[in-house]
Structure 1
Amino acid sequence: MQRSSLIGIIPLLLLFASGEATAHAFLDHAEPRVGNKVAAPPREVTLWFTQKLEPAFSTITVSNAAGERVDTGKPRISGTQMSVSLRPGGSGTYHVTWHVLSVDTHTTEGNFTFQVGQ
C-alpha cells in the first residue's frame, strides 16, 4: 500500500518541479542570433523570451565595438518579444545587454554579442 502511495506522489512532484523551471523569463532566441556574424549592421535587435514581459520594467541596450550606445532608446515590447531600433553603425562586435521583468514578477538579465562585417 505504501508503494502505491509513493507512485501517486511522484507525478505531483514532477508537476511542481516543472512549474518552477518556467518561473522566469529566460532568453529563448535573438535576431541577430547570439554570437552570429552578419554582413551589415542590423536595423534592430529583437529578443524573444520564455514568458510575457512587463514593458515598464524591461530594458535593452546595444553598444558598438567602441562602447558607444547605438540603440535608439525605448524598446518595443509585445508579449514575449522585445525589440529596439539601432542607429547606423560600423563593423565590429556589438554588445547586447537586457534586463526584464516577467509578468510573474521575476527579473532576469543577461548579455551577448554578435559580429558585424566581412
Structure 2
Amino acid sequence: MGTTASRILCASALMAALLTSTSVLAHAHLKHQEPAADAVVTTSPKALTLNFSEGIEAKFSGLTLTGPKEMKTAIGTATVNANDNTQLVVALNQPLAAGDYRVDWHVVSVDGHKTKGQYHFSVK
C-alpha cells in the first residue's frame, strides 16, 4: 500500500511540475497592432502600437519601419506604455507617404525570452 501511495505522490508532483513549467516557457506574442496587419489606412497613423501577450522590457524591444522602395522610415524611440507593460508604442516622426510598409519588431519579455516578427500595412 505504501508503494502505491508513493507512486501516486510522485506522479502528482511530476504532473504539477509539468503544468507550472509551461508558464515559465511563455513568450511575448503579438496579439494585435494598430494599424492592423494587412490594413489599408486612408491617413497616416501618428504612431505604431503593438500589444503583446505578456509584459515586455523597454530597453530590449523595438521595431523598424520599411516603406516604399525598401527605404527605412524615420521613427521615434520605442517606449513601453507606463500603464500597460504589454504595449509597445513608437511615434512617427512625420506623416507616412502613400505606399506599402513593413514593420519588423523584436521584444524581450519580462521573463527574458526573445520574440520577433513582422507584419505589413498600407497607406492609401
TM-score scaled by structure 2? 0.77
**What is the count of residue pairs matched by the alignment?**
114
SS in 2 for 1:61: strand
SS in 2 for 1:97: strand
Q: Give the structure 1 partner of residue 88 of structure 2.
A: 82
Q: Give the structure 2 partner of residue 56 of structure 1.
A: 59
- Structure 2: how far apart are the matches of 1:81 and 1:71? 20
Q: Displacement, 1:13?
A: 6.8
**Structure 2: gaps (5+ residues):** none
Q: Give the structure 2 partner of residue 12 of structure 1.
A: 16
Instruction: Determine if the alignment matches structure 1 residue 94 to structure 2 residue 97.
Output: no
Q: Give the structure 2 partner of residue 25 of structure 1.
A: 28
The answer (yes or no) to whether the contact 2:96–2:123 under 8 Å persists in 1 is: no
Q: RMSD over aligned Cα, in angstroms?
A: 2.3
* Bigger radius of gyration: 2
The answer (yes or no) to whether the contact 2:50–2:87 under 8 Å persists in 1 is: yes
Provide the identity percentage: 35
Return the letter of the residue paired with 1:101.
V
With over 3 angstroms needed to count, the CA separation of the structure-2 counterparts of 1:100 and 1:73, relative to structure 1, is same
Q: Displacement, 1:19?
A: 2.0
